[in-house]
Structure formats: structure tokens, C-alpha cells
A and B are shown apart, each in its own frame.
Chain A
Amino acid sequence: MIAYTVRRLIVLIVTLFLVSILIFAVINIVPGDPAQIILGTEATPETLARVRAKLGLDRPAVVRYIEWLKNIILHGDFGRSINYDRPISELIANRLLVTGPLAGMAILFTMIIAIPLGIYAATHHNRPGDYGTMIFSQIGLAIPEFWTGILLILGFAVHWHLVPAGGFTPWEKPLESLRSLLLPALALGFTRAAVITRLTRSSMLEVLREDYIKTAWSKGLPSRLVIYKHALRNASISVVTILGLQLGYLLAGTIIIETVFYLPGMGRLVMNAIFQRDLPVVQGVVLFIATVIVIVNFIVDLLYGLLDPRIRYD
């Protein structure tokens, strides 16, 4: 297990290294001059020179990359925002107070909807309940999450006035804050639930065909015990993997959902940065999200063994 963890850790570091090179290269090397992109085509040569110097563009790209990476690793310093004139790490930390709980609530909704539905469909295979669940998941996969968001606003905010249509109440009033995250989290969770429902169902179907499940049934064990203790535990391996992979899509989804609901999270930060051409912020936030995705995948890999003792790490 230790050897496996160390091996995976090395892969993790190499992947993060490649990710950072890729992001830096896209923003800094291809194509043309970032200072020109930031200032637009009408900037004077003097202003261009000033921004180039401020961004360190007068030095070779390799030197800038090493310095950027060194600052992140040693000091957690992602650089400075051009528009806000504040450290990017501080901006990310502030926005995480919205995006973090939003992603957490969305995962919670995903699991609350998907796991029972998936189990129900698998235990009612080829019966109306199964077909109904599959139709639900097909529709869920086809609806973009921002449209789900708009429909939820239409129903719960515009029509029934139960929750705000957008915006965020700061955490001084925790209940109000949670209320403002309710619809966005539901919109995000609904789409993920469609994926996880299908997966829980097919994993359960596969496990329910195994001999040990047939033995458990023939021993006369209560169905609750067979389904939840014997089957679900084994089916959960692929569910956990996909849930882990889904986190990346969830974080990307927050970018759109935060725009739909006017939430001051990381998604809005990166969108504003794109329109204001604040490239260091785009670079920092994308690297941060990519790092979270890679680390979550690493944790998911390690979780395998805990869920399924048959997996050997050699």
C-alpha cells in the first residue's frame, strides 16, 4: 500500500507539473503578446512596455514559468491581479467561501437523488420503475445545468417567491447564505445525479448477478442486508470513481451556475477576469481548479482499497 501510494504520488506530481506547463504555455506563449491581449490593439507602445515590465514579459518565458511555479509552491502565491491589484490567492480564498459550499451541497444533492434511484432501478430491472428512472437520467443528461438553473428560478423564485432569484447573502447570516445556494446547488446536482444514477444502476446490476449475491439470497438473508451490505458496497467502487471524476465537471459547472445566479464565487471571478483581460487571474484560477481535480482523482485512487479489499496494490 505504501509503495503504491508513493508511486501514485509521483504520478500526481508529474501530472501537476505538466498541467502547470500547459496552462502557462497557453496563456503566455501561444499566440502573441499577453500585454497586447490585456490592453487591446489601441494601446500605446509606452503602456505596452509598462505592462510587459509589470508582468515580467521582458524576461524569457522559461524564467517566468520557474518563478511563477516557485512562488506558488513556496509561498502559495499565484501572482497579482491586474484589475483588483490584490494577490490572486487572496481572491481565490475569498471566492472559495462561496464555491466550496456550493460544490459540497451539489455533491450532497447528487448523492441524495442518484444513489437511491440507481438502487431502485437495479432492483426493479426491466420494470416500469426502472424505465422511469432511465428516462429521468436521459433527460437529466440532455438538459444543460444553466437551463435547469433558469427553470428553477422561474418556478421557485419568480412564481412561488420561496427563494431569491440570485445573489449571495454573506456568511454572517448562515441560514440566508444556505438559502441563496439552494437553487444553484440543486441545478448542479440534478445534472450530476443523472450520470450517477445510470452508473449506480449498472454497477448494481453487475454485482447483483454475482454468485455471492445469489448465495446471500438463497441463505434467506433479508433483502435490505443483501442490497445494502453485500451489493452496494461492491457497486460503490465505480460510483466513487465517477463521483471523483465528476467533481472536476462540477467545479467547471460552478463557473456557469455562478453566472446564472450572480454568485460571487470562483466562476464569476474567472469570467470577469476573461472579459477584463486579467490573464494572471485566469491562469491562477484555472491552475487551482485543475490542481483540485488532480488531487481528488489521487484520493479516489487511494480510496479503492478501502472500499474493496480485493484490490491489491502491487
Chain B
Amino acid sequence: MTERRKHLRRFSKDINFMIGLALVGLVVFTATLSLFYTPYDPNRMEISARLQGPSSSHWFGTDHYGRDILSRVMRGAVNSITVGFIAVGIGMSLGVLLGALAGYWGGWLDEATMRVMDVIYGFPAVLTAILITSILGPGIKNSMIAIGIYNIPIFARLTRGNILSLKEQDYVLAARAVGQSNLKIIRKHILPNALSPLIVQATVSFAVAILAEAGLSYLGLGTQPPHPSWGRMLNEAQPFIHLSAWPAIFPGLAIAIAVLGFNLLGDGLRDILDPKLAHLR
């Protein structure tokens, strides 16, 4: 059996990975599809059809403005995926950079960077986001920045830890002995080997980003109306739950499916890439 096939077999045999992949695939597919097709315009109001239950014309029912919930849930997926990508992107790029510098050079740079990282890390995501949006103002862009900042110390700590152990490996010492520059050593030899845990963390952070964005939008600090966001939809549905529960059910289910998908994918990747931990699961 070739190496490639062996790898594929390991991935396909991991149940967490496969379920996670299917759920994430569903969310990504829905988001992509919604860019070209939704049953109705997600923002189109039809007061005469307000707060209807699921039916053949509105599969997920309608909200208090008569907007089609399925269409809004579909478009909301775009929102969640975008926030996830950008927030994790900000956290990962800055975190890896800071962690790599701190871990490789050590000394006061390491001390100073990691103390500041510790302080940010101690702040729960929502609190960081609240602090930042209170200054920059509510909105999707600022909530992405806020969630991104929250992610920086997570990636910085992970990268630093990996680099501290990798920089003493023989192949790194050999690269240094032949006179390669520090930046080249980090880029060519260290980062590629530190990649697996970063990929796992990015997947888990994606789930946290989706949850944080939903929370911020629920509070009115994230995506602003009328754009559909799962958290915002739940906020708007709550005053009407005694009349119709459906607008408060489907967006929540969508969040749960997306987060569950990314969490399972992360768990699966960790099992596959770090088999030492498998016995604890």
C-alpha cells in the first residue's frame, strides 16, 4: 500500500474526523450555495406571512417580519465562515509570528512577549470583544478583529512551545552549522514541522470564533441588521417565542452543527496527527 493510501485510510477510519468533515462540508456547501441561490431573498419582508411554522413554501418557517428563515440561515453561514476565516487568520498569523520570534530568540523578547500574551489569554473571548467593540463600535469587522486578537496568544503559546523543542533538533543544529540564516531556519525547517498542532488548533479556534461571533451578534455588537447572522436571528426571535418557536430553533441548530463539525474535525485531526493522546479518548 502506498504512503498516500495509508494516510487516506487513517483519515477515513477516524469516526470523529469523518463526521466533523461531513458537518463542516454541509456548512461550507450551504454557505457557497447561498451566494448563488436561496429560496427567497433573505431580507425580503412579507408581513402577511409572519411567524409561520415550517411548510412546503417556507421549509423552516418565517420570522416576525415574514422573512424566510431557511434563506436567512443559509446566508448566515457565509457570515460565520467569513468571521471564522478572518478571525483565525488574524490570530494565527500574528500569533505564529510572535510565538516564533519569542521561542527562537528567547531572552527578554520571549519574557516580554509571553507576559503580554498571558494577560490577553486570561481574558475570555467575549470580554476581549466587548472591550474592543466598546471603542471601535459594533459591527462585523470589529468583531472579527476582536475575536482575532483573542486568538493571538493561543497560537503564540503553541508556536513558542513547539519551537523551543524543535530548535534543539539535530536537523536544525545542522542547518545552523552550515550557516543558514535564522529566518530561513524558522521558515524552512521549524515551521513546517510545527504545522500539525497549528492545523488542529486552527480548526478548534474556528469553532470558538463561530460561537463568539454568534454571541456578539446576539448582544448586538456583531453583525448589524438587516444582514442575517445566526446570533442576531436568535436575538430577534426571542421576544416572539411565545408566538412561534421556529425562528429561535433553526439558527441555534445551525450554530450547533457548525461548531460540532469543527470541534469533531479538530478532535479527529488531533487523534490522527498525535496518536499518543488517543488512549485518553
Using CB atoms and an 8 Å cutoff, list the residues of chain A in contact with chain B: 14-15, 18-19, 22-23, 26-27, 30-31, 37, 138-139, 141-144, 146-147, 150-151, 153-154, 158, 202, 205-206, 248-249, 251-253, 255-256, 259-260, 270-271, 273-275, 279, 282, 286, 289-290, 293-294, 297
Contacts and interface: CB of A to CB of B under 8 A. Distances in A.
A165 to B, nearest CB: 8
B173 interface: no
Contacts of A14: 115
A37 B280 CA distance: 50
B127 A139 contact: no
B243 to A, nearest CB: 10
Contact of A147 (B115, B119, B123, B252): B252
A59 to B, nearest CB: 20
A144 B280 contact: no
Given A31-B136, A151-B252, A259-B219, 6 more contacts: A15-B119, A27-B131, A141-B263, A143-B259, A158-B245, A293-B124
Contact of B255 (A22, A138, A147, A273): A147
Contact of A26 (B122, B132, B207): B132
B248 A255 contact: no
A37 B220 CA distance: 18
B218 A252 contact: no
A206 B280 CA distance: 7
B119 A19 contact: yes
B123 A282 contact: no
A7 to B, nearest CB: 15
Given A18-B119, A141-B263, A146-B234, A253 B126 contact: yes
B255 A144 contact: yes
B190 interface: no
Contacts of B241: 150, 153-154, 158
Q: For chain B, what secondary structure do more than half of its interface residues adopt (helix, strand, loop), or is it mixed?
A: helix
B118 to A, nearest CB: 7
B256 A143 contact: yes
B224 interface: no
Contact of B135 (A27, A249, A270): A27
Contacts of B127: 248, 251-252, 255, 286, 289-290
**Which of A18, A146, A202, A259 has the most chain B CB within a 10 Å cutoff?**
A146
22 contacts: A15-B115, A15-B119, A143-B252, A144-B252, A146-B215, A147-B255, A150-B248, A151-B248, A158-B245, A249-B124, A251-B124, A252-B126, A255-B219, A259-B219, A274-B130, A279-B134, A286-B127, A286-B131, A293-B122, A293-B123, A293-B124, A294-B122
Interface in B195-216: 207, 211, 214-215
B259 A142 contact: yes
B9 interface: no
A79 B280 CA distance: 49
Interface residues of B, number: 45
B115 A18 contact: yes
Interface in B230-274: 231, 234, 237-238, 241-242, 245, 248, 252, 255-257, 259-260, 263-264
B133 interface: yes
A22 B221 CA distance: 21
A275 B133 CA distance: 10
A146 B220 CA distance: 13
B178 interface: no
Nearest to B115: A18
B220 A275 contact: yes
Nearest to B220: A275
Contacts of B248: 150-151, 154
A141 B144 CA distance: 21
Contact of B214 (A18, A144, A282): A144
A128 B207 CA distance: 27
Contacts of A26: 131-132, 135
Contacts of B115: 14-15, 18
A30 B135 contact: yes
B211 A144 contact: yes
Contacts of B219: 255-256, 259, 271
Contacts of A275: 220
A19 B263 CA distance: 30
A256 B238 contact: no
A150 B124 contact: no
Contacts of B234: 146-147, 150
A142 B221 contact: no
